[in-house]
Amino acid sequence: MATIDRAASIARVAADINELTGPAYTLTSDAIRRYAYTDVYASTLDYFETQFTDLGFDVSFDPVGTLVARNRPSGEPVFGVGSHCDSNRNGGPYDGTLGVVVALEVCRLNAEHGADLPLQVISFLEEEGSGFGQMLLGSRIMVQSVDEADLRENFRSLDDGRSFWEHAEDAGYDPSRWRESVNVLDNHLGWIETHIEQARVLQDTGNRLGIVNAIAGYIHGDITVIGRADHAGATPMDFRHDAAVVAAMCITELERVAKEAGNRTVGTVGELSVSPGLINVVPGEARLSLDVRGPDDASVKDVVASIKSYAHEVAEARGLEANYAMRQTLPATAMDASIVSELETAAAGSVEPYRSMLSGAAHDTMCVASRVPSAMVFVPCRDGISHAPDEEADPADGALASEVIFEAIQRLV
């Protein structure tokens, strides 16, 4: 095992994170907010491009803007590392970005120790869905699990309503070649993504690393309730077709059925809108998003089916209509046993506490795993907080993840 200068590694990881938390890399000062095709996102890619170029890597972009850095000519086998550097709109410094920083640190350790490992780093576009409401968009494009019509028409900017396609073209990319993105995953010996845990298991059990053995699956969808807009003062309670009331009933029912489903199934309504959205008008329409997840796909499907039929029933009973449309879904994803095992061996060799665990959050690795043997490493985040500005993690744990991944890849190539 190489003797790694841990203090130097920690300082580099801390410096990267510190730099990318600055005002040039976020649209707002009260959170980290960066997403595809914004100037601050382009600056973030520029930062990584410079770092990888300095290490002698070739940097390129897939047809929609996912960053790819490699130290071997294309066509030669590589081991993949990376994550995403876009953020939740209400994000902190670590969700995603730490995984790209750790990948960069693996490349630095590779240079420092003359290991000459064949490496390719990916920083996926739009993991969070902050730009277009579509989670894991860059990796879904890469593994071809989107439709061209969605990219051209249906996926629309949350800011200005223009299509993903138009935004990609305006940013200088060529979305008409999106199918070529799949080639980025050719000739891969494996893939490892590092991420903050986003829960508090590691903190509460005193572990510094989590080796992920599976990632929970999810269904994202929307329920639209159509009632009738009416005067809020003049319409008696018994004469209303209030869409917001049906939406509210669906929210509490979702909480009930998700709890009842067990198997670590969770359900969330994170987006809620009523229209026309005026204090003196009974809402004529409401839309609520559904985010249902868990390691057991059948339970996730059951929760969605039951909330869908509940919405229909309560809407109908009150003289309204409710429609459900799925946005996107991915099944629970098992990690590759041999990569997991090498990571565990390397973690044990680091003499730092680690454990194996499930990921409740979704990750680009779910898509990568459909083509390449894949695994993930988690580091703790304070009190499990993420998708929030006060998200916090220790750069020392990021450096430890880099060390463990560097050791594991040496055995895997």
Task: Report the residue number, 128 or 397, with the smaller CB distance to ligand GLV.
Answer: 128
Taking CB under 6 A as the criterion, the residue among 128, 285, 336, 403 binding ligand GLV is 128
Q: Please select the residue that binds ligand GLV; options are 117, 122, 135, 303, rule is CB under 6 A.
A: 135
> How many angstroms separate the Cα of 374 from the Cα of each of 113, 148, 191, 194, 213?
24, 27, 5, 11, 10
- The entry of ligand GLV, Mn ion, none near residue 135 (CB within 5 to 8 angstroms by kind) is ligand GLV
Q: Please check whether residue 77 is in contact with residue 27, taking contact to mean a CB–CB distance below 8 angstroms.
A: no
Q: Are 287 and 221 in contact (CB under 8 A)?
A: no
Closest to Mn ion by CB, 298 or 388: 388
**Using rule CB under 6 A, residue 199 touches ligand GLV:** no
Tokens (6 digits) for 71: 């130290």
Q: How far is the CB of 266 from Mn ion (least distance, A)?
A: 15
For residue 332, the one-letter residue type is A
What does the alpha-carbon distance between residue 225 and residue 287 come to, in Å, rounded to a whole number? Answer: 6
* Smallest distance, ligand GLV to C-beta of residue 136, A: 8
Contacts of 135 (CB under 8 A, 6+ apart): 127, 128, 129, 220, 328, 362
Of 80 and 92, which CB lies nearer to ligand GLV in the complex structure?
A: 92
Side chain identity at residue 21, one-letter code: T
What does the per-residue mask of binding to Mn ion show for 87-106, with x meaning CB under 5 A? --------xx----------
Q: Could you tell me how many residues of this chain bind Mn ion (CB under 5 A)? A: 2
What distances in angstroms separate CA 333 from CA 272, 354, 366, one per listed residue?
29, 21, 6
CA angle 210, 219, 330 (to 5 degrees): 60
**126: partner contacted, choices Mn ion, ligand GLV, none (Cβ within 5-8 A by kind):** none
Q: Which of residues 18-57 bind Mn ion (CB under 5 A)?
A: none
Q: Which does 362 bind (CB under 5 to 8 A by kind): ligand GLV, Mn ion, none?
A: ligand GLV
Q: How far is the CB of 46 from Mn ion (least distance, A)?
A: 21
Residue 197 lies near ligand GLV (rule: CB under 6 A): no
Site for ligand GLV contains 335 (CB under 6 A): no
Interacting residue with ligand GLV among 258, 362, 366, 393 (CB under 6 A): 362
β-bridge pairing 217-226 and 374-379: unpaired
Residue 335 has what DSSP assignment?
P
Cα first-last separation, the chain: 15
Specify the residue, 381 or 399, whose C-beta has the smaller distance to Mn ion: 381
Indicate whether 391 belongs to the interface with ligand GLV (CB under 6 A): no
Is position 361 an interface residue for ligand GLV (rule: CB under 6 A)?
Answer: yes
- Angstrom distance (rounded) from CA 164 to CA 169: 9
| Residue 133: CB minimum distance to ligand GLV, A | 12
Query: Burial level of 18, CB count in 10 A (0-12/13-18/19+)?
Result: exposed
Q: How far is the CB of 407 from ligand GLV (least distance, A)?
A: 28
77 upstream amide cis, omega within 30 of 0: no
Residue 133 binds which one of ligand GLV, Mn ion, none, with CB within 5 to 8 A depending on kind? none
What DSSP letter does each residue of 72-94 carry, written as one string? S-TTS-EEEEEEE----TTB-SS
399 counts as binding ligand GLV under rule CB under 6 A: no
CB closer to ligand GLV, 51 vs 386: 386
Q: What is the DSSP string of 142-166?
A: HTT-S-HHIIIII-B-TTT--BHHH
Nearer Cβ to Mn ion, position 90 or 341?
90
Residue 216 CB, nearest distance to ligand GLV (Å)? Answer: 9
CA 199 to chain centre: 14
- Rounded-to-integer distance, Cα 348 and Cα 326, Å: 42
**CA–CA distance, 103 with 373 (Å, rounded to integer):** 17
Which CB atom, from 95 or from 242, has the smaller least distance to Mn ion?
Answer: 95
175 binds, among ligand GLV, Mn ion, none (CB under 5 to 8 A by kind): none
Check: CB of residue 93 under 8 Å from CB of residue 20. Answer: yes
Smallest gap from residue 386 Cβ to ligand GLV (A): 8
Q: Which is nearer to ligand GLV, 184 or 196 (CB)?
A: 196
Min dist. Cβ of residue 98 to Mn ion (A): 9
Q: Minimum distance between the CB of residue 72 and ligand GLV, rounded to whole angstroms?
A: 30
Distance of CA 3 to the CA centre of its chain: 33
Cβ 352 to Mn ion shortest distance, Å: 23
Concatenated DSSP letters of 354-382: EEEEEE-S--THHHHTTTS-EEEEEE--G
User: What is the contact surface with Mn ion in residues (CB under 5 A)?
Assistant: 95-96
User: What is the contact surface with ligand GLV in residues (CB under 6 A)?
Assistant: 128, 135, 361-362
